[in-house]
Amino acid sequence: MNRTLNKKRRRRSIIAFEMIRLDRTADEPLYQQLYRQIRDELVSGNFDSNSSRLPSSRTLAADLGVARLTVKLAFEKLHAEGYLRARTRSGTFVADSLPETFLSPRQPKTEPQIVRAARLSDRVKDIPDKRVGKQFDLGIAGAPGVSFVPALAALDEFPIEVWERLRAQVLARKGAHLLQYASSHGDPDLRKAIAAYLSDFRGARCHPDQIVVTAGTQQAMMISAMALVNRGEVAWIEDPGFYQARRAFGFAGATVVPRPVDEEGIVIGRPSKERSPKIIYVTPSHQFPLGMTMSLARRTALIDFAQTHDAFIFEDDHNSEFRFTGPPLPCLQGLDNSGRVIYAGTMSKILYPSLRLGYILAPEQLVEPMIKIRAVMDQHSSAIDQATLARFLDEGFFLSHIKRMRKLYSERREFFIEEFNTLLSEHFLLQIPEAGLHFVAWLRQKTDLPLITRVCAEVGIRPSPLSSCFIKAELNPALTFGFAAWSRAQIREGLFKFASALKRNGVTHSCPSS
């Protein structure tokens, strides 16, 4: 009798289940295949409209030769998405209105577009370097193995399980509140924790209200430039310097004036009144990319200059945490008693870049304008991430992670220096900075650059040409090598491969000592 009933139901079934083809060798789970095929049938409208009943999961499972659970999972999904409805005891039915029709009908695609070239804004046309925006798409992140790309951190060492545990805790404690719109100023607990860290460990002078949470240093630069610079006003940038700073200040309308650097840091000089800078971008802890620490004399001179010329200093304090020789100088901001320094820090190098969290420690009078800009630009940062970070700082994980990474990086750094000098000293002079996650390696023979660049591509490593940081600077050719993200074995393997390929390609020079 059961058998007869089944047949009956099957005859009245809405869909031609004979059409269903399940592929057991596919990656897609069976229930997902079944779900997809039923859904497509329903959406196509290609079914018997005299009935909306589906066969029971038992019948269908038997007919298709699959487990009943497979059918149940597919039905559940269709039900959750509104394609099916269940009537108690009387079976499963197609919903009266399918989600597709409920939302909107599928649109037929029409003829190709007739497009006129867009008149773009000048600021977009002025962004230097067409590659910007593509830089990370090109595989920095995805590159497997050792690439020596500068500025990569050892992310496999990040205690993501601790992070996720703290995240669960803040979600449990604050619940739906954390899902809501949040402050453009930043999470108060986080601002407090950052302010405490900066006073304790960076010698900064700050109150939590002076902290403005950002989506990283890039946004910190953009907000600062937007707050201060009118079109055509001058921004000084170290040259060589951080190319993203040049882009940010230029994008905000500033006339970017490159300033040379010497062993003490940015060279100040005496500008004419109309070339006097409104904002000065510097990296005092660790000049990017050359690695010098700005001297105390230069720091004081720079602050005096800013006071006299009514300028602001943007202190990008990247990598100050990763210093390997001697005690660090406190930050520039801590020396300033005239509210001229905008200090910016980021979690990208200490924790992980895709978190997109950083902060500005701003002079009091800039706080309110910066919050306004953040609100107009993109509102605020993820509230859950901010609350999690506050806990990560408060519970001491932040300091212990820095400490652990400093030790690891210190070992990798020494290993890199040793291996590099053993294998490659005939081609390069390695410059050893006190801090940071990369080295500058100067070519011993300037004319080798094209060949060396080709060899890098051949062996799949991607040290960055120093020239990508030049505006007007004309320094000798060099490559910058990141070392922090790879194990000693990987560093050895990468450098060995590189050295062998150089030899194979005929790049040989007598050892400088011979």
Interface residues for its own copies in 216-235 (CB under 8 A)? 216, 218-219, 222, 226-231
Provide the β-strand partners of residue 213.
359
Interface stretch with its own copies, choices 11-19, 54-62, 363-371, 428-436 (CB under 8 A): 363-371
Closer to its own copies by CB, 160 or 267: give it. Answer: 160
How many Å apart are CA 413 and CA 324, to the nearest integer?
9
Q: Which of residues 153-192 bind its own copies (CB under 8 A)?
A: 155-156, 158, 160, 164, 168, 171, 175-185
Is position 356 an interface residue for its own copies (rule: CB under 8 A)? Answer: yes
Neighbours of 277 (CB within 10 A): 25
Cβ nearer to its own copies, comparing 1 with 172? 172
- Using rule CB under 8 A, residue 463 touches its own copies: no
**Of positions 27, 122, 274, 474, contacts its own copies by CB under 8 A:** 122
Single out the residue of 21, 87, 134, 270 in contact with its own copies (rule: CB under 8 A): 134
**Taking CB under 8 A as the rule, does residue 274 contact its own copies?**
no
456 binds its own copies (CB under 8 A): no
- Complex with its own copies: residue 186 or 477, whichever CB lies closer: 186
How far the first Cα of the chain sits from its last, in Å, is: 98
**Residue whose tokens read 């720079």:** 302
Q: Binding to its own copies (CB under 8 A): which residues in 275-334? A: 278, 307, 310, 312, 321, 327-330, 334
Strand partners, 438: 482
* Residue 53, helix vs strand vs coil: strand
Residue 395 Cβ vs its own copies, minimum distance, rounded to whole Å: 8
Task: Give the residue from 326, 248, 338 showing the smallest Cα distance to 293.
Answer: 326
Q: Is residue 89 a contact point for its own copies (CB under 8 A)?
A: no
Of 66, 67, 80, the C-alpha closest to 22 is 66
User: Which span sits near its own copies by CB under 8 A: 21-29, 56-64, 242-250, 449-457?
Assistant: 242-250
Site for its own copies in 396-415 (CB under 8 A): 396-397, 399-400, 402-403
Q: Measured in whole angstroms, how far is the alpha carbon of residue 105 from the centre of its chain? A: 38
Task: Measure the CA–CA gap between 493 and 423, rounded to whole angstroms.
Answer: 11
Q: By C-beta, is 221 or 282 nearer to its own copies?
A: 221
Residue from 24, 116, 270, 273 that binds its own copies (CB under 8 A)?
116
* Min separation Cβ 82 and its own copies, Å: 5
Q: Does 86 bind its own copies (CB under 8 A)?
A: no
- Helices 160-174 and 383-394 pack at an angle, to 10 degrees, of 110
CA-wise closest residue to 84 among 68, 73, 97, 71: 97
We find the least distance from the C-beta atom of residue 236 to its own copies, in angstroms, to be 16
Report the residue from 46, 300, 325, 337 that binds its own copies according to the rule CB under 8 A: 337
Pairing outcome for strands 84-87 and 91-94: antiparallel
Stretch that binds its own copies, among 58-66, 108-116, 416-424, 425-433 (CB under 8 A): 108-116
Q: How many whole angstroms separate alpha carbon 315 and alpha carbon 415?
A: 31
**Closer Cβ to its own copies, 191 or 298, answer by number:** 191
- Where in 475-494 is the site for its own copies (CB under 8 A)? none
DSSP secondary structure of 336-396: -SSS-EEEEEESTTTS-GGG--EEEE--HHHHHHHHHHHHHHT----HHHHHHHHHHHHTT
Euclidean distance between CA atoms 264 and 15, whole angstroms: 78
Kindly state whether residue 371 participates in binding its own copies, applying the rule CB under 8 A.
yes
